[in-house]
Amino acid sequence: LLLELSALSRSPQSPRRRGLLAACVRFRPSVLRLLLVFPAPTSALPSRMEEPLRYKFGPYKIDAREVFHATPLTYAMVNLRPLLPGILSAQGHVLVCPKREVKRFADLSSDETSDLWVTAKEVGAKLEQYHKASSITFAIQDGPQAGQTVAHVHIHVIPRKKGDFEKNDEIYDAIDVKEKEMKEKLDLDVERKDRSMEEMAHEATEYRALFS
């Protein structure tokens, strides 16, 4: 009764409101005084739809559909351009990033550092099992001379299988190449020609189910 009466406060001459006021007065006169003093509660009014989640990767906006796992400090997303397209493009090469835009690893807080690695560990374990891999590569390029092209700390998490690279260290050269390509793709926004949003969203949906 009170919620309905409050919701009608913007129509003081409404017959329905006058009838409700009369009922309130009969039961408890003090109710009338309260309703005249306090505005309608927000819960009685239609609420606005919440804005969709947005993530930043350096200066770039990341669509929430690309993100498959998140904590209060960290998020994990599918890769715009994974290693070895056609071979490992759907084999779990993902990025784990702090939500706060942080350029260098040393600039992370202790809580962010811990959460980043715990999240990377959990993501790696689930993707290794999901893709029936036998090992995982975790890689950070900390600064431009280390190969970092997007100034936002991120861990490459890559499930590994026997024979995926002829020499194990070749994976680091491949990561360097893909870092540069990723920067170019983000700048030009032409990665959609190779991986559509639908493809990335589908992959993220599969991984998201691993954490439900």
Give the residue numbers marked as catalytic.
154
Q: How far apart, in whole angstroms, are the C-alpha atoms of residue 86 and residue 183?
A: 20
- Please list the residues that pair with 89 across neighbouring strands: none
- Please list the residues that pair with 76 across neighbouring strands: 69, 96
Cβ atoms within 10 A of the Cβ of 71, count?
14
